[in-house]
Amino acid sequence: MELQVEDTIQWLEKSNEKIQQNKDYLTALDQAIGDSDHGINMSRGFQEVVNQVKSKQYDTVSDVLKDTAMTLMSKVGGASGPLFGTAFLRFSMRVKGIDPISQDAFTKGMEDALAGIIQRGKAATGEKTMVDVWSPVVDYFKGTTIVQADEVAQTAKKAMEQTKEITATKGRASYFKEKSIGHIDPGAASSFYIFEALSEVIKG
Ligand code: ADP
Ligand code: MG
Ligand code: MG
């Protein structure tokens, strides 16, 4: 795989499409174990990301990711805004000066993005957060020589579904304790859409 500026913009556009299509679903997930705003937060943030990256000219993938980060941080709000913002910012910093992004550079960017989420949110895996999707996806990239688009989406999907079984111990969902069992984590679901979008871009 290889990502150029146009691929990266396409990744963000496809992510946004999925988030807009599933806005009510994401909000319903957050209604069960949160405060019912995740779909609203993400749809507002990603729409703004797309508006911005489509209206500007970019020379590097790093610059696209940096603008994405800044927009997510300022527009998504809640717990997830700073976390997704940090992820894209760290990704952007790691791939600075590399264009197009090779599989190796992408993997390093993903590693740093996950490290940023963990640093900021202090959640480990198994706490029913977006980390439970990002972490296996990063492991997939680290453990494979040739990335298969379908495997990216499958890895993220399986991980998202597994969050159902977990008792939340971070974020608002942790207030629900064992009652959070049986529900998919909203941030795990939105992360899945982002990786499903990526898999479609890799597929071409
Ligand atoms: P808020 O909970 O402030 O309303 P959102 O509803 O937009 O924010 O986002 C909730 C999502 O954020 C959760 O489903 C979870 O995936 C993620 N999240 C919350 N706290 C943390 C954390 N400490 N570390 C990682 N992810 C977290
Ligand atoms: Mg919420
Ligand atoms: Mg909220």
- Which residues lie at CB < 5 A from ion ligand 2? 30, 34-35, 37-38
Average of pLDDT values for 188-195? 99
The residue contributing the CA closest to ligand 1 atom 27 is 129
Residue 83 Cβ < 6 Å to ligand 1: yes
Domains of the chain: 2-203 (1.25.40.340)
Residue 49: the pLDDT is 98
| Tens digits of residue pLDDT in 56-114 | 999 999 999 999 999 999 999 999 999 999 999 999 999 999 999 999 999 999 999 99
Backbone angles phi, psi at 102, to 5 degrees: -75, 170
Give the mutation target among 83, 127, 166, 183 for probing the ligand 1 site: most ligand atoms within 8 A of CB: 83
Check: complex ipTM more than 0.95: yes
